Structure 1
Amino acid sequence: MNGALEGVRIIDVSRVLAGPFCSMILGDLGADVIKIEHHESGDETRGWGPPFAEGESAYYLCANRNKQSMTLNLKSEEGKEIFRKLVASGDIVIQNFKTGTLGKLGLGYEDLKEINPKLIMASITGFGLTGPYKDLPGYDYIIQAMSGLMSITGEKDGSPVKVGVAIADILTGLYTCIGILSALHHRDKLGEGQEIDISLMDCQVSSLVNVASNYLFSGLTPERMGNQHPNIVPYQTFGTSDGELVVAVGNDDQFRRFSTVIGRPDLAEQEQFKHNEKRLQNKEELIPIIEDSLRGKTKKEWKRLFDDAGIPNGPINDIAEMFEDPQIIARGMLVSMEHPTIEDLKVTGSPLNLSKTPVTMRKHPPLYGEHTDSILAEIGYSPDQISKFKENKII
């Protein structure tokens, strides 16, 4: 068995990151993913570089393994008919066109469910299919700004800062996976498909979790706190003799052990620091004391001492250091794949470790249109018809 989703066919007409990231996860789990790309330009991320490897952009390669690629002109009548044939034999459509685009082409959910009543369509947009912003384009950066995320990211006295990766896209991809798997379960019970309306904005707002809850309960607008935590102290970065590390003291018992390790057991006995609520109130006094205590040893020395005492901590690794970490290597989070043009293609692994149906890296990120002919042949088109499609710029 290739995976938990073996036998599930996904028609993916999404581009860039949120949709492709979602379909890659489902592909890792065994689904058959057909990536449909524009017949002239393909997924935009194919050109998002450098870096490139043998003409393939690193950006594209990060989110497109375990897929087949075919090109298709969805504005042509022949292209629409091909798409409908694919949908008739498929289970899921993932799309991230602007609201209403597929509907105008006669390929919206209401149209396609007439062909396949069991169809599940995941429609990813910036702001959703309803509401005053439904027709606006949505990009990760814009969503990070409008959702409030940037207002709480960065140093207290600095400017708002975006997260270093397209986190709104990634979260939306994950939420879309959850929605699709839920819809598949519903379909298994009742035999009916449905449309999933999911937006980057909604997903990013949902991810604000305790910060949003703090505002809703207190009425106080959260502010940027840099590397500090709004509810827990000490829970931040600290300098050592050779760099910075993160210390995350999550409860009073940990604080007692932490105080002993840094040579200040008296801190845990002082009334203003004994409990987290008091530490939060008196952090301006406590933090400098801890900073002074940590300057006397290296990151490695403190890590060993904190690990032995059960104090959550970790050095601030760069990406190169992260991929060299023995834990990352042991967990299979760095994977080598075969590729027709790239020698020793390396990609990040999957965090999904299923004991009975493990994920597999079966297919390299496809070349542009690599499987167009074979997919068309599979759904009944002859070599002559495929040649004519090429001549008429249908594929």
Structure 2
Amino acid sequence: MSKISASQALSHLRVIDLSRVRAGPTCVRILADFGADVIRVEPPQGVDPNEAMFAADRDSGDFQNLNRNKRSMTLNLKREGALEVFQKLLRTADIVVENWRPEVKARLGVDYDSLRKVNPRVILASISGFGQDGPYAGRPGFDQIIQGMGGLMSVTGLPGHGPVRAGLAIADSSTGIYAAAGILIALLERERSGQGQWVQASLLHTQIAMMDFQAARFLNDGDVPVQVGNDHPTSSPMGLFEASDGAFNLGASGEGNWRRLCLALGAPELLDNPGFRTEKLRVQHRARLNRELAAIFAGATVAHWVERLNRAGVPAGPVYSVPEVFEDPQVRHLGVAQAVRTAAGRTMRLISQPITLTRTPAAIASAAPVWGEHTRELLRELEFDDGAIERLRAAGAI
């Protein structure tokens, strides 16, 4: 099998993916879906004591979703001959992505200084929990740990119920996206300088950046964010409301939306209420305003209010379960779930890239590889003959 052709957008690039778990594979998936030749390099089966956590079940939906459009080769960098293989591969690469601890990179010879001696044009993207240096650089960093330390859990959940984690790996996933953006910026800069560079992204810094307006409120106004449940901390009416048959979300922030909401509800008197005349007053008197709206919304169904409010230009939407998400007509129209057939013959539905390019779109061209599926093929591409390949195998390097 030659390299996978998911798209022409990045088909001129080769990526060595040394990453594990979620943030790194999320980053590399973007590059793979847009056509980069991604080579997932991982230890032979049984070498990594944590492999069951991120690599053993190749047919799981999660593994397939993270690692489609990649080729796989095994390589144990601790064994004789493996570094030679890696360096040959490195000479052909544009990008290396890893999430190893700093001291591990240096010990195995895959730190940035070592890489650029072999290939000065290579871009190394390092993803970590806490950064490449500083007092916490050696700490392991899992998503929930970072959600707590980055402030997210302090603002998530109902007031008085204690910290709550978000229901997805937001620190991992957003760090992967930031790392991909950093790689693309470094590639553009390389067109002028001819030199690679070291791209670094940490879960902690990313999680704080994702706090966005909440963090900015504190840094500049001294306003400490707290849990406000389903309400918006600075806008009203904006949050979760109950219709006669269930809940829906309403986003009527700003004066234009507020006016449209009142007219759509047939309640123009709310516009003249002195407690609701400005956004600041509506936040201050949120509980009273929510009660007024709740009495109106109780009189009709979710479908009625969502259709009526959207027709009036007021943002509103239902609250779906995950199965309901994939039944929504707009989700179907967007092609969010796409089918792929695995090496084991199983048809799986994966999440397509949410970025649309009109001439060179992303695609899911191949399922995630089985362990080391392309090892021999890639070694032959690097001009190792059958005898050399068998010697590497005998040494436990592949």
User: Partners in 2 of 1:45 and 1:328 — Cα distance?
Assistant: 36
**Could you say which residue in structure 2 is the equivalent of 1:255?**
258
- Match of 1:232? 235
Among candidates 190, 197, 200, match of residue 203 of structure 2: 200
* Aligned with 1:22 (options 7, 27, 30): 27
Residue 11 of structure 1 pairs with residue 32 of structure 2: no
Distance 1:276 1:42, change over 3 A: farther
Query: What's the CA shift string for 1:154-202, capped at 9, x where partnerless?
Result: 1012121111111000000000011000000011111001011211101
Q: How much does 1:46 deviate?
A: 7.0
Q: Given the alignment of the two structures, is residue 95 of structure 1 paired with residue 104 of structure 2, yes or no?
A: no
The alpha-carbon deviation at position 40 of structure 1 amounts to 2.4
Q: Which residue of 2 aligns with 1:299?
A: 302
The one-letter code matched in structure 1 to 2:229 is G
Summarize deviations over 1:111-162 as a string: whole Å, max 9, x none: 1101100010001110001211111111111000001110000101212111
Q: 1:84 to 1:174 in 2, by over 3 A?
A: same
Alignment of structure 1 residues 156-171 onto 2, 5 Å: 156-171=159-174
Equivalent position amino acid for 1:195 in 2: W
Cα 1:289–1:43 shift into 2, 3 Å = farther
1:231 partner letter: T
- Structure 2 equivalent of residue 109 of structure 1: 112
C-alpha distance in 2 between matches for 1:234 and 1:125: 39
**What CA distance in whole angstroms lies between the structure 2 residues aligned with 1:201 and 1:42?**
29
Pairwise CA distance, 1:242: 0.9
Within 2, Cα distance between the matches of 1:366 and 1:389? 21
Q: 1:183 touches 1:193 (CA, 8 Å); kept in 2?
A: yes
Consecutive unaligned residues in structure 2, runs of 5 or more:
none
Q: Which amino acid aligns with 2:125?
A: A
What does residue 137 of structure 1 align with? Answer: 140
- Against the structure 1 CA distance between its residues 114 and 256, is the aligned structure 2 distance closer, same or farther, given a 3 Å change threshold? same
Contact persistence 1:47–1:57 (CA under 8 A): no
1:147 and 2:150 are equivalent in the alignment:
yes
Gaps of 5+ in 1: none
Q: d(CA) in 2 for partners of 1:112 and 1:351?
A: 32
- Structure 2 residue aligned with 1:320, among 319, 323, 328? 323
Conservation of the 8 A alpha-carbon contact between 1:16 and 1:45: no
1:187 has 2:166 as partner? no
Question: How many correspondences in the alignment?
Answer: 392
1:34 equivalent in alignment to 2:60: no
Q: Give the AA of the match of 1:192.
A: Q
Distance in 2 between the 1:41 and 1:298 partners? 55
1:360–1:46 distance in 2 versus 1, CA, 3 Å: farther
**Is 1:364 paired with 2:344?**
no
* 1:94 match: secondary structure: strand
Comparing 29-38 with 384-393, which one deviates more in the overlay? Answer: 384-393
Please report how far the alpha carbon of residue 343 of structure 1 lies from its aligned counterpart in structure 2 after TM superposition.
2.6
SS of the equivalent of 2:249 reads strand
Q: CA deviation at 1:293?
A: 1.2
Structure 2 CA distance for partners of 1:308 and 1:198, relative to 1, 3 Å? same
1:234-261 Cα offsets, whole Å, 9 max, x none, are: 1100111111100001211211221222
Once the two structures are superposed, what CA deviation does each residue of 1:65-122 show, in whole Å capped at 9, x if it has no partner? 1100111101123111111111111010000011221111222110110110001000
Q: Could you tell me the percent identity over the aligned residues?
A: 37
Kept in 2: contact 1:13–1:35 (CA 8 A): yes
**Within-5 A mapping of 1:47-66:** 47-48=52-53, 56-66=59-69
Q: How does 1:346-361 map to 2 (within 5 A)?
A: 346-361=349-364
What amino acid sits opposite 1:28 in the alignment? Answer: D
Per the TM alignment, residue 58 of structure 1 is displaced from its structure 2 partner at its CA by: 2.0
Deviations 1:251-298 (A, max 9, x none): 112112212223322111212112211111111211111111111111
Partner amino acid, structure 2, of 1:36? V
- For normalisation by structure 1, the TM-score amounts to 0.96
- Partners of 2:271 and 2:49 in 1: how far apart? 55
Name the Cα RMSD after superposition. 1.8
Question: Aligned letter for 1:14?
Answer: S
- Which secondary structure state, in structure 1, belongs to the residue aligned with residue 31 of structure 2? helix
Measure the CA separation in 2 of the matches of 1:141 and 1:182.
29
Partners of 1:44 and 1:358 in 2: how far apart? Answer: 38
